[in-house]
Amino acid sequence: MSITHILRKIKTKLAIYYYWLKYREKVKKYITNFWTCRVLLRLNQLLIFDEKKGILVRCGLNKLGNRSISNNFNVLKNQLSSNFPTGIFLTENKDVILAGETILCGNAIRVETIDVYFIEKTITLLNDSLYKQNKRLIEFDYRKEMDKLDFVFPEYPFTWISEVKKIKDAIKNRISKTGGFAENNVMNTLIHGDLTFRNMLISCNEPEIYDFCRSEISFPEFDVYLFAIDKDVHMGRIVNFQILFKKIIHFIKNSGHIPEIEIFYRIVPDYQVNQKIEGVLKYLFLYRMVVLSLECFYVFKKNSSIPLEILTSIKGEL
């Protein structure tokens, strides 16, 4: 283990203790004993897993964390599927949102075990639980699809936003040249928003899905794109954001279909109407990933050079 890795672990432990001290009065009534819980920091949230009570408590650390927690709870509060967590409570106390949900009991998924059968079951589960009952025909406007992500701009450093806006303009310019953006009768729905095998478990050969923090009304193709590309990244020896975005850029420039999207359209044929804007959807997916992936650097790594390196690289590809 390198010195850098050790220092990062120490920094994370100290941050967890800091946030626990800061929010313990708000959290402690929902858990049995903090010291027996597993505690993580994820995407601007403090996550407290109380295995004894079978509950996960999410605590927002900032506006982005609060928004994510609300998104997640809004999906889970009316969810009847045993393959999703059940939302238990959501409360807001002095600009801090807390939410509780049940803990799923499945096992972690190894990327090399993912096969067509598992993908079919995952898409079927999402269709039955989200896509089917929330689908709607819309008048497509790619500009609105991009602009709805502007909510993060007040939270991110100016240097990030300056580069993101350049990427946004470059993508709009690319889309405008395709001529296929003024389409009516395309279909969107409620999506997971961050569908990767790492946000899933396996139980009795059935997928379980959690972490709906990036859920929104959008295009289910985005779930499929991310699942497939993230899986491909994790099949390699090196896993980082740079490689993820290289593969997304390659995906955009490749005119062929990924196998997973063909499976999706076979299982959920209603969304085949979106195939006519496939080229545009790929660019919208890239932009969505650019904006939301920066959240991963927001709490601890605002001064890291990695976000700007990634943004500069993407801008160069456009």
* Residue 304: per-residue pLDDT: 77
Residues in the chain, pLDDT under 50:
none
Q: Is 196 in a helix, a strand, or coil?
A: coil
DSSP 3-state of 206: strand
Helix or strand or coil: residue 137?
strand
Residue among 299, 115, 285, 286 at smallest CA distance from 207: 115
pLDDT of residue 24: 81
Residue 294's alpha-carbon distances to 70, 93, 172, 185, in angstroms, are: 19, 27, 20, 32
3-102: what CATH class?
alpha beta
pLDDT at 94: 77
- Which CATH number among 3.30.43, 1.10.760, 3.90.1200, 2.60.40 corresponds to the domain 107-317? 3.90.1200
- How many residues comprise the chain? 318
Instruction: Quote the pLDDT of residue 20.
Output: 79
Q: Look up residue 215 and give its amino acid.
A: S
Checking DSSP bridges between strand 186-191 and strand 216-218, what pairing results, if any?
A: antiparallel
Domain residue ranges of the chain, discontinuous segments joined by +: 3-102, 107-317
Q: What is the pLDDT of residue 32?
A: 85
Cβ–Cβ contacts within 10 Å for residue 209, how many? Answer: 22
Helix (H) or strand (E) holding 251: helix 241-253
